[in-house]
Structure 1
Amino acid sequence: MKIQSVQILAVNTTNYINWTLPPDITGSEIVCFATGTLIDTEHGPIPVEDLEIGMNVRTLDRGLQPIRWLGSRRLTSAELAVNEKLRPIRIRRGVLAENVPDRDLIVSPQHRILVSSPIAQRMFGAREVLVAAKQLLVLDGVEIADDIGDVTYHHFLFDRHEIVTSNGAMTESLFPGGEALKAVGPEAREEIFAIFPEWRDNLPHFEAAREFPAAHQARKLALRHQQNGKPLFASD
C-alpha cells in the first residue's frame, strides 16, 4: 500500500499543500522524525512538529542554521501494517551512550544516526559515520515500534546536509540528493525548486555530512560495539 497523502509546509508557513506520492514511490527513502521528537534550536529543544521555516536549528558543523523547507506525512496503522519499510524504529533511551538519546527516539527506518567511536575509526578511517536506524536493529534496545498506531513523520531541509540534535542524539537532516528529491514527489519537489531555483536544471552534487557505510558494514559496526560493550557515541 502506498502513502495516501503528504502534508507540505510551504515557504509561507500559513499555507499547506496536500499531494499524493507517484505510484512507483513508497517514500521509504525519506529520513523522518516522529511527532514529539525534540530538536535543539536557538530557543532550546522544540518538538519537530512546531518547527517553522526560517527557525534556526543548532547543527554540529555549522552552528545555527535556518530551516529552508519542512514536510510531514501521516501514516495510518493499516498502512504501516502492510509496508514494513515504513514502520518506525524506536531507539530507547541510553542505547547509544549514557543518556543518549535522553528519551526514546522514534524515526523512520532510513533515518541516519551519528556513530562516533574508536571502532568506527578502525573500520572506516573516520571516527564519525552516519548509520541508518534500521541497521541498528541488531542492538538491544533498538526495535521496530509495532506498538505505535498512526504515526506522523516530519522532515526538514537546510542549505546543506547537517547533523542536528534530536532527543539528545546526533542525527541527520534531509539529505538533498536526487533520490530524496524523487521520493518526496512532484509537488514537494516543485516547492523545493521554488526555494532553490538553481537546482531545477542542474542539481548540484551534495556532500554528505559524514560517510554512509554500506548496510552490511553498518550492521557489523553496531554489533562490534555491542559485543565489546562500547558506546556508539563516545565524546572522548
Structure 2
Amino acid sequence: MTITVSNNQTIVFNAATDTDTSFDFSGEKSNIQLTNLSATKPINLTISGNFGINHSNVLTFLKSNGVSLSKSSVTYTKKTDISVITLKNSSGQTLGTITSSGDSYGIGAIYPDSSSASGSLQVVATTNSNNELTVCFLAGTLISTPTGDCPVESLTVGDTITAYVNGSPITRTVSWAGKAACTVKPNHPDDLAGWPVRILKNALSDGVPYKDMLITSEHCLFLDGKFVPVRMLVNNQTIFYDKTISSYTYYHIETDDHSVIMADGALTESYLDTGNRHSFRSSGTVVTLGGHPSKTWGNAAAPLTVDRAFVEPLFEKFSLRAQLLGLEATDHLKNVTEDANIHLIADNGTVLYPTRTINNQYLFVIPSHIQSVRITSRASRPSDVIGPFVDDRRYLGVCIGTITLSENNTIIPVTTHISDEPLSGWNKDVENGERWTTGSALLPLPVRNRNSIAQLSLDVKATFSYLTDTKQEKLSASAS
C-alpha cells in the first residue's frame, strides 16, 4: 500500500497495528510520526518523492520508543542510489528499516570516493564532517519570550519566542531546536579552535547584555541594522575567548523565518540552516529524520556584513567603552617584524639561504639531485596582525611572481605555482601571475640535468607584517 502525502500533512504511523507501508511525499512541510516501535514487530517503510536534506518533509519518532541513535545506522549505496536507516534499541534489536531513494541524508556527499557510506545515526546527526562553522548559544543563555526570558536549552519545538521586525517585537514559534557538543582544539587559531566567546555584562551598552553572554565565535550580533560575527569584535577586554571552557554543549533554535531575537538582553540571530543541520541532535523528546531546504544569507532577517568599513567602528566603539569601564586588554602588545626570513628547504631537508638579492629578486643555488623545494618564510593572518575586524584569515607568507631556474646556460620558466591550484602551501587566489604562500610553499622543479648545479630566482612581489610569538609561528607552519 502506498500513501500519498501532500502539503502540510501529519500522518501517524502506529507500528503496533499498521502494516508495512510506502509513503510518497508529493508536497512539502509534512510529517510522518512513528509510534509504538517494537523489536517484536519491526516496521518496514519505503519513502519516495520529496524527502531528504533538500526538502521540508520529515519523519519523527518519540525517544520513548526506545530508539538508540548510536546503535541505529544509516547507509547510502551509490550503485542502487538507495538510503536505508536501520532503527535499533539500546540492546541492538532491530525496530525497523526505512528505505528511501537517493542520498536522502547527505552522507554520500560526505564520503564521495566510497561506493557506499554508512555510520551510526547519531554520528550522521551530530558529526561535523565538513568542518562547518558553529553558530550557536551556550547553555544558560536566556532567550526573550512573550512570557519572560527562558534558558535556550529549555526551548523545544512549538514554544514561542520574541522576534524583532523593524525594531518592533512580534511572536514567532520555534520550528526546530538542536544541540551538539564541542571539544576545543587548542592547537588551532582562537577563532577556529572552538573557544566560546564571552561578552561581559554591559559590554555593548548599559544593560546590554544584562549578564555575561556566551556564544560561539561565528554567532552574529545584530548591530546598526546588520548581523556581525562576534569573532570580529573580540577586543580581549569586554569581548574575549573564554579559555577556561574547553568543552561544552551548544544550542540553537530556528523559526520558520530567520529572526532577530534577544539573548541575555542583546539582539542576535536565530538559527539559519545553511546546510549544517546534520551537525545537531534534535532537542526535546522528538527525533527528526529528513530535513528542510538549505538557506542562504539571502533568506536572513538582515544583511550579514564582514566589511571592515562597517565593523571597525563598532570594534573601536566597544573597545573605548571597555576603557571607560576601566577594563584593560588581557593580551599584550603584539610583537611584529617586517623581516620575512625567506629561505628554501630542499626535498632532502637541506636549508638554502639566498646567495644574493637584487631589488626584489632572491637568488638561490640549487644543488644537484634536488627535484623540489619549499619556499619558506614567516607567515601571519591579517585578522591577527591588523585586528579581528579584518575578515581575512589567510596565512600570508610572501607573494611570489615570476620564478626561473637557470641551469647549463638555459633559463627555464617555472609556473607550477600559478597553474597548480591545490599545490601545498599556497593560498588559493592567483592574481596577475602572482600568488601568496602560506609560509611553506611546495615548488616542484623542472626535470634537471644529472649532477648539475642550478640557480633559482624568485621575484618576491610583496611581504607582510609578521607576528613573532611562538604560538603564531607554529600555527602558520601547521597551516602550510
Q: 1:210 aligns with which of 288, 293, 302?
A: 302
- CA contact under 8 A between 1:139 and 1:226: conserved in structure 2? no
Q: 2:264 aligns with which of 167, 170, 180?
A: 167
2:177 alignment partner AA: L
1:38–1:137 distance in 2 versus 1, CA, 3 Å:
same
Q: Output aligned runs, 1:22-33, within 5 Å.
A: 23=129, 25-28=130-133, 30-33=134-137
Question: Matches of 2:319 and 2:182 in 1, distance apart?
Answer: 35
- CA contact under 8 A between 1:31 and 1:173: conserved in structure 2? no
- CA contact under 8 A between 1:89 and 1:144: conserved in structure 2? yes
1:33 alignment partner AA: F
Question: Matches of 1:27 and 1:67 in 2, distance apart?
Answer: 23
1:63–1:148 distance in 2 versus 1, CA, 3 Å:
same
Match of 1:111 in 2: 219
Which one has the largest radius of gyration? 2
Root-mean-square deviation (CA, aligned residues, Å) is: 3.1
- CA contact under 8 A between 1:138 and 1:222: conserved in structure 2? no
1:223 alignment partner AA: F
Match of 2:178 in 1: 71
Match of 1:148 in 2: 245
- Matched position secondary structure for 2:186: helix
Question: Matches of 1:11 and 1:217 in 2, distance apart?
Answer: 46
Q: Which runs of 5+ in 2 are unaligned?
A: 1-58, 70-121, 323-480
Pair 1:184 & 2:277 matched? yes
1:67 alignment partner AA: V
After TM superposition, the structure 1 stretch with the greater mean CA deviation from structure 2, 40-49 or 104-113, is 40-49
CA drift of 1:12 comes to: 5.8
Greater fraction helix = 1
Question: Matches of 1:113 and 1:192 in 2, distance apart?
Answer: 31
Match of 1:40 in 2: 144
- CA contact under 8 A between 1:160 and 1:206: conserved in structure 2? no
Question: Matches of 1:205 and 1:106 in 2, distance apart?
Answer: 23
- CA contact under 8 A between 2:228 and 2:305: conserved in structure 1? yes
CA drift of 1:26 comes to: 2.1
- CA contact under 8 A between 2:235 and 2:319: conserved in structure 1? no
Question: Matches of 1:206 and 1:11 in 2, distance apart?
Answer: 29
Question: Matches of 2:264 and 2:62 in 1, distance apart?
Answer: 24
- CA contact under 8 A between 1:135 and 1:215: conserved in structure 2? no
Question: Matches of 2:264 and 2:154 in 1, distance apart?
Answer: 15
Cα deviation per residue 1:57-105 (whole Å; 9 max; x = unaligned)?
Answer: 00012611111111111123xx343444221111110011101000011
Number of matched pairs:
197
- Matched position secondary structure for 1:161: coil
CA drift of 1:209 comes to: 1.3
- Matched position secondary structure for 2:153: helix
Question: Matches of 1:38 and 1:14 in 2, distance apart?
Answer: 26
Question: Matches of 2:239 and 2:280 in 1, distance apart?
Answer: 34
4+ residue segments displaced more than 6 Å: 186-190
- Matched position secondary structure for 1:114: strand
1:209–1:139 distance in 2 versus 1, CA, 3 Å:
farther
CA drift of 1:149 comes to: 3.2
- Matched position secondary structure for 2:131: coil
1:204–1:214 distance in 2 versus 1, CA, 3 Å:
closer
1:72 alignment partner AA: K
Question: Matches of 1:221 and 1:192 in 2, distance apart?
Answer: 44
Question: Matches of 1:187 and 1:73 in 2, distance apart?
Answer: 5
- Matched position secondary structure for 2:314: helix
1:44–1:111 distance in 2 versus 1, CA, 3 Å:
same
Cα deviation per residue 1:30-67 (whole Å; 9 max; x = unaligned)?
Answer: 31000000011122111111111100000012611111
Pair 1:21 & 2:114 matched? no
Question: Matches of 1:14 and 1:69 in 2, distance apart?
Answer: 16
Q: Which runs of 5+ in 1 are unaligned?
A: 1-9, 117-127, 231-236
Cα deviation per residue 1:190-222 (whole Å; 9 max; x = unaligned)?
Answer: 94855x4xx38xx68842211211253454132
Question: Matches of 1:27 and 1:229 in 2, distance apart?
Answer: 33
Question: Matches of 1:13 and 1:222 in 2, distance apart?
Answer: 45
